[in-house]
Amino acid sequence: MTHLTPADIARFGPDPQATFAANLHEVQARIAAACQRAGRPRADVRLLPVTKTVPAHVLRLAHAAGIRDFGENRLQEAMTKHDALSDLPIRWSIIGHLQSNKAKYLARFRQRIHALDGLGLAAELNRRMEAEGRDLPVFVQVNTSGEQTKFGLAPGDLPGFLDALTAFPRLRPQGLMTLAIFSADQDRVRACFRLLRRLRDDSRTSHPQIAGLSMGMSGDYETAIMEGATVVRVGQAIPGPRPGSDAHYWPGLIPDNR
């Protein structure tokens, strides 16, 4: 049995499992509807639920609600949860910026990296994977909004970066990843997704394996699907609003029109 604290109940409600299952159902239905509007097969789009800041004991209920893929943006938090939930068949993905000196910790669990954004990190990851004798699927993060606060390569640096990545055979680049501009204005958000798609299309001529587009979060995943997303990373719309400054805009929260 999962013991819920008063703080858990305040944040997730009295029956988190039922809430997560209902929210998951709603998100799945919206993904299916967006695929239909976009004229795309449902199987083209993978949902990666984002579980950051949700405590491990509450994540047991997310697993019970049917969630099997967990996306985390902080390595330390991911490792702690991975160890606490090692009895469950969960696939972990790291979706946030990773420092090169942390690459060694990845050995503890097998997931994909959504935020590869530097050659130092690539070299370190490749070295680790070589030592373990395995490959690592990666998405290359691009800064499509030009915001200083965001990680990722400048669009102009992408072609050279992809060429340089071929020196690291243990890394299997699968596509590009971005965070759209933090805005309630869907046109500006859409422009970020369009840019990533164009960069993907351009990259594909010399790097055919760059096929995926990891883009779209709780506030904009339907727009992202219209623009070609193959992976949507959805947090708050499933476990509920996240307290603190990391809560990006989504319709359940107050818009921030910076």
Ligand X SMILES: *Cc1c(COP(=O)(O)O)cnc(C)c1O
Decide: is 95 part of the binding site for ligand X (CB under 6 A). Answer: yes
User: How far apart are the C-alpha atoms of 256 and 176, rounded to whole Å?
Assistant: 26
Q: Which of 52, 81, 150, 197 binds ligand X (CB under 6 A)?
A: 52
Q: Which of 23, 73, 174, 230 binds ligand X (CB under 6 A)?
A: 73
Q: Which of 118, 212, 228, 235 binds ligand X (CB under 6 A)?
A: 235
Query: N- to C-terminal Cα distance for the chain?
Result: 44
Q: Which of 49, 55, 96, 155 binds ligand X (CB under 6 A)?
A: 96
Numbers of helices and strands, H then E, in the chain? 8, 8
Q: Which of 121, 179, 224, 226 binds ligand X (CB under 6 A)?
A: 179
Provide the sign of the torsion angle of the four alpha carbons 106, 107, 113, 117, taken in this order.
Answer: positive
DSSP 8-class letter at 184: S
Please identify, among the stretches 19-27, 60-68, 76-84, 235-243, the one whose residues bind ligand X according to the rule CB under 6 A. 235-243
Decide: is 138 part of the binding site for ligand X (CB under 6 A). Answer: no
**Location of structure tokens 């420092």:** 99
User: How far apart are the C-alpha atoms of 135 and 145, rounded to whole Å?
Assistant: 30
Closest approach of Cβ 227 to ligand X, in Å?
A: 16
Residues 198-227 that bind ligand X (CB under 6 A): 217-218
Tokens of 211: 């096929």
Decide: is 11 part of the binding site for ligand X (CB under 6 A). Answer: no
Binding residues for ligand X, how many (CB under 6 A)? 15
Please identify, among the stretches 14-22, 157-165, 191-199, 234-242, the one whose residues bind ligand X according to the rule CB under 6 A. 234-242
Q: Which of 239, 252, 223, 182 is nearest to 45 (CA)?
A: 223
Decide: is 234 part of the binding site for ligand X (CB under 6 A). Answer: yes
In contact, 164 and 119? CB cutoff 8 Å: yes
Residue nearest to ligand X (CB): 235
Contact residues for 183 (Cβ-Cβ < 8 A; gap 6+): 189, 249, 256, 257, 258
Q: Interface residues with ligand X (CB under 6 A)?
A: 50, 52, 73, 95-96, 179, 217-218, 233-236, 242, 248, 250
